Amino acid sequence: MIFTNKIMNFIAFQVSWLVCCMNATSQPWVGVILVAGWTLCLLVNNESWYVDLKLMLAAAMIGYVLDSTLVLLGVISFPPAASIGWPTTWWMVALWVNLAATLRYSLSWLLDHRHIAAILGSLAGPLAYYAGYKLDAISISAQPYALAIIGLEWLLAMPLLLWLATWLTMHQRRAAEAVLSR
């Protein structure tokens, strides 16, 4: 239950992001294993583990589709050593899972503020990709244009993921209430 603590959750998120990016070209599986490990710890002894698991799986699928689209459009690419997976990489999908694991904990304050999340996503998303570029984990083509497209991706993705987190939580509560009312 340590990772449901907002501070520990945020630290795990940041450390995992950094490990994924720093190891992308040498040992890309290291970041994937770290994300899998800490998110598994989040799920253990967590009474709403099913909601978190569904959210993480949905984020993985959404991230795979969105980042694969960026790759296919030529907006981003990966160095050959970082390209485990196609069109996007496993470690990039792990970063989406990593983010999903924060939405109901360290980033829960955004659940009721999706408009703020959209703005933050449109700014923080491109910054994160640019930081990954600076760490040689990712290549960004035509940077100003590409960063704008990445910003649009995250302008849409953050509110979508937060809506999904809210919907899954509400659905779980309704199911629990239905069982209790029998």
**Higher per-residue confidence, 174 vs 56:** 56
Total-model pTM = 0.94
pLDDT tens, 11-32? Answer: 999 999 999 999 999 999 999 9
Q: Flag whether 167 is in a domain.
A: yes
Phi, psi of 81 (to 5 degrees): -70, -20
Q: Is residue 108 part of a domain?
A: yes
Does the pLDDT value for residue 174 go beyond 90?
A: no
- Domain hosting residue 41, numbered range: 2-177
For the stretch 31-65, pLDDT in tens is 999 999 999 999 998 989 999 999 999 999 999 99
Could you tell me if residue 136 is inside a domain?
Answer: yes
* Eight-class DSSP state of 169: H
Q: If you average pLDDT over residues 131-154, what whole number do you get?
A: 93
The yes-or-no verdict on residue 131 having pLDDT over 90 is yes
* Total count of domains within the chain: 1
Residue 150, in any domain of the structure: yes
Residue 182 covered by a domain: no
Classify each residue of 152-170 as buried b or exposed e, where b means 16 or more C-beta atoms within 10 Å of its C-beta. Answer: ebbbbbbbbbbebbeebbe
Tell me the three state secondary structure of residue 140: strand
